[in-house]
Amino acid sequence: MRLYPQLKSIICVAGLCFSTNFLLAQHRLLPQIQQTAESIHAQIGISALIIETGDTINFHQEQRFPMQSTYKFPIAMAILHLVDQGKFTLEQKITINQSEIIPRGASVIREKYPQGASLTLDELLRLNIAESDGTACDVLIRLAGGTQKVQDYINSIGIKDMRISTTEMVQVSDDWTQYQNWSTPNAMTGLLKTFYKGNVLSKNSQSKLIEWMIGSVPGNKRLKGGLPANAIVAHKPGTSGTFRGLTRATNDVGIITLPDGNHLAISVFVSDAYGTTQEREGVIAAITKIIWDYAGNK
């Protein structure tokens, strides 16, 4: 991924943008990615960045997409920042009230503790990321001081084109509400880069979050779906419900360790899609594999 590093301009064709380091690969990657994106009736956004080299591939990277549970990644970052400041400890027990348990959507807490519970902050964070637990997410938002406090933190580390507006409790009550929690692909990939470069969280907090993302239970047929079984993928998927054949969000964002040891920060959003789960997840897997194959051969 080090072709002509002295060139810094961006080439864009039909909505797909490449850094000039990818210029020589355009003739191969552009048709593949376009064909894959057009294989399903959906809005698709892609932002991919090799963290160590700065190489990028972007497709509708400035368009706003509903984040769904990918927003649990920045929420976890905001809480870990408070841990680093000494305002919380990972061992601290947090009370979960029955009124905070979401009625629908993924929640291990709801299934195991329908009357409420007291869990460590470490376990709440793990459930939020690895199990995509909506109840855990809302408790973390409460601890952060509300969605605006999470938003303030994300803005403070330089991420602008991302909006965290509502809780999971509100989001699961109305199919339209999810559009209030949105991000551009560029903003999410920028957040992944900022997180991974180690400038905003302590090493312990960074390592914990990576560990939880590698252990993510949902979404293993998305970014990971077309990669070798031993590929290391730290990711956070997000999924909406399907109503009358329309799925408003099928997403996956994360950091992939490439064969040469470099790291690919990638965000793929599939919005307003008509298609099966296999088709929606397959598009994400195929796009990721195209980029992996090219990067792995450099």
Give the tens place of pLDDT for each residue, 20-78: 455 444 456 778 888 999 999 999 999 999 999 888 888 899 999 999 999 999 999 99
Give the tens place of pLDDT for each residue, 165-192: 999 999 988 888 999 999 999 999 999 9
Q: Residue 215 maps to which CATH number?
A: 3.40.710.10
Give the tens place of pLDDT for each residue, 142-168: 999 999 999 999 999 999 999 999 999
d(CA 130, CA 142): 19
Given 100, 131, 168, 281, the catalytic residue: 168
Residue 112 lies in a domain: yes
d(CA 282, CA 69): 19
- As a whole number, mean pLDDT of residues 105-112 equals 96
Instruction: Categorize the per-residue pLDDT at 12 as very low, low, confident or very high, splitting at 50, 70 and 90.
Output: low
Range of the domain at 47: 10-296
- Is position 168 annotated as part of the catalytic site? yes
What pLDDT score was predicted for residue 4? Answer: 27
Residue 1 lies in a domain: no
Residue 210 lies in a domain: yes
Kindly report whether the global pTM for this prediction surpasses the value 0.75: yes
What pLDDT score was predicted for residue 167? Answer: 97
User: What is the torsional sign of CA 274, 169, 106, 78?
Assistant: positive
Instruction: Categorize the per-residue pLDDT at 17 as very low, low, confident or very high, splitting at 50, 70 and 90.
Output: low
What pLDDT score was predicted for residue 29? Answer: 79
Residue 286 lies in a domain: yes
Residue 77 lies in a domain: yes
Given 19, 47, 69, 132, the catalytic residue: 69
What pLDDT score was predicted for residue 22? Answer: 52
The count of domains in the chain is 1
Report the share of the chain in percent with pLDDT over 90.
81
Nearest 5°: CA angle at 239, between 56 and 99? 130
Residue 185 lies in a domain: yes
Residue 3 lies in a domain: no
Residue 5 lies in a domain: no
